[in-house]
Copies of this chain bind each other. A is one copy, B any other.
Amino acid sequence: MTDTSQLAADGRLRHLITLDGLPRARIESLLDDAARLRAHWHGQRALPPLLAGRSVVNLFFEASTRTRTSFDLAARRLGALVVNFDIASSSTSKGETLQDTLATLEAMDADAFVVRHKENGTPALLAGHCRQAAILNAGDGNHAHPTQGLLDLLTIRDRKGRIDGLQVVICGDIRHSRVARSDVHGLRALGAAAIRLCGPAELLPDADEFSGCSIDDDFDAALAGADVVIMLRIQHERLERATRLDSQSYHVRYGLTPQRLACARADALVMHPGPINRGVEIASSVADGVQSAILDQVANGVFVRMAALAQLLGR
């Protein structure tokens, strides 16, 4: 889905729903802003109050303490008020439509909604109902997770100096992963040379969804020459339901071990959106090793979320 409605008529960012279709210049401007905010923060442990007077509402219909905390810190460090809207005890759970909840909170001058939902398309749907507020997608179904895509791009650009021309492997449950989709959209926009999607056949996507990517169930073959290896979190229930693999067998075939990592380029970067399953999709020594950028990803997450909020709400 190419979604051009994310941009206002003047080209300004209106919502951030997906990286799919977002112009390369816009993505690079978000990464540049994030890097600039990061440099400022590291120098002074203080930031300009770009969001002073702004109110950001976290609407998390799926629990995610890590991602919510990252958005929370991003917004508040720029001076915004953050409301964590508790879905479980809200009128939404008592039969009020989600659209009425949104209108109510917008009437209280909420400026942005950070939305996570298990259904594909909920953030885009809400964006269609906002009068002025911005929607920032924090993950919907297996559709998109644009700030995860941005933080992965920033991490790769930092460590490799560029995205152009890189060979990237993404391994795991590609079929159900919004992270994989947003990574692919971002990597393609910024000129990655090759993207290889890898995992058990049952967890691979339909070939026509990922045009320009190679799809393979042989992880060792996929790793040859890779500059970047992005491992996805495996869900135990889905693994056992969809494949005949248990965690141990999955580790043998798709776990990133030191031996297997040696198939990639010697300076290959190891990434994972977290939380990691040690000893399942990734060996502890690799997760904690010198090639791992996993904690850099977490750190960059706060800054790309700042950049997105500042572009959406800044004056």
Contacts and interface: CB of A to CB of B under 8 A. Distances in A.
Interface of A: 41, 44-46, 52-55, 63-66, 69-70, 72-73, 76-77, 81, 83, 85-86, 89-91, 94-97, 100-101, 103-105, 107-109, 274-278, 295-296, 298-299, 301-302
A81 B91 contact: no
A209 to B, nearest CB: 28
Given A95-B275, A104-B298, 15 more contacts: A41-B109, A46-B52, A55-B73, A63-B89, A69-B85, A69-B105, A73-B81, A73-B109, A77-B81, A95-B277, A100-B275, A103-B295, A104-B295, A107-B296, A108-B302
B65 A89 contact: yes
Contacts of A89: 63-65
A96 B275 contact: yes
Nearest to A296: B107
9 shortest interchain CB distances as A-B pairs: A63-B89, A96-B275, A107-B298, A65-B90, A91-B275, A45-B53, A107-B295, A107-B299, A46-B53
A302 to B, nearest CB: 5
Contact of A66 (B53, B76, B90): B90
B83 A276 contact: no
A82 to B, nearest CB: 10
Contacts of A105: 69
A251 to B, nearest CB: 15
Contact of A83 (B73, B85, B90, B299): B73
Nearest to A83: B69
A315 to B, nearest CB: 8
A296 B104 CA distance: 10
A89 B64 CA distance: 7
Contacts of A86: 65
Contacts of A85: 65, 69
A108 B299 contact: yes
A90 B85 CA distance: 16
B53 A94 contact: no
Given A65-B85, A65-B90, A77-B81, A104 B275 contact: yes
Contacts of A55: 73, 77
A100 B276 contact: yes
A281 to B, nearest CB: 13
Contacts of A54: 45
A233 to B, nearest CB: 10
Contacts of A101: 275
Nearest to A77: B81
Contacts of A278: 97, 100
A108 B73 contact: yes
27 contacts: A45-B54, A55-B77, A64-B89, A65-B86, A65-B90, A66-B91, A66-B104, A69-B83, A69-B85, A69-B105, A70-B108, A72-B83, A73-B83, A73-B108, A73-B109, A77-B81, A91-B274, A96-B276, A97-B278, A100-B275, A100-B276, A101-B275, A104-B295, A107-B295, A107-B296, A107-B299, A109-B302
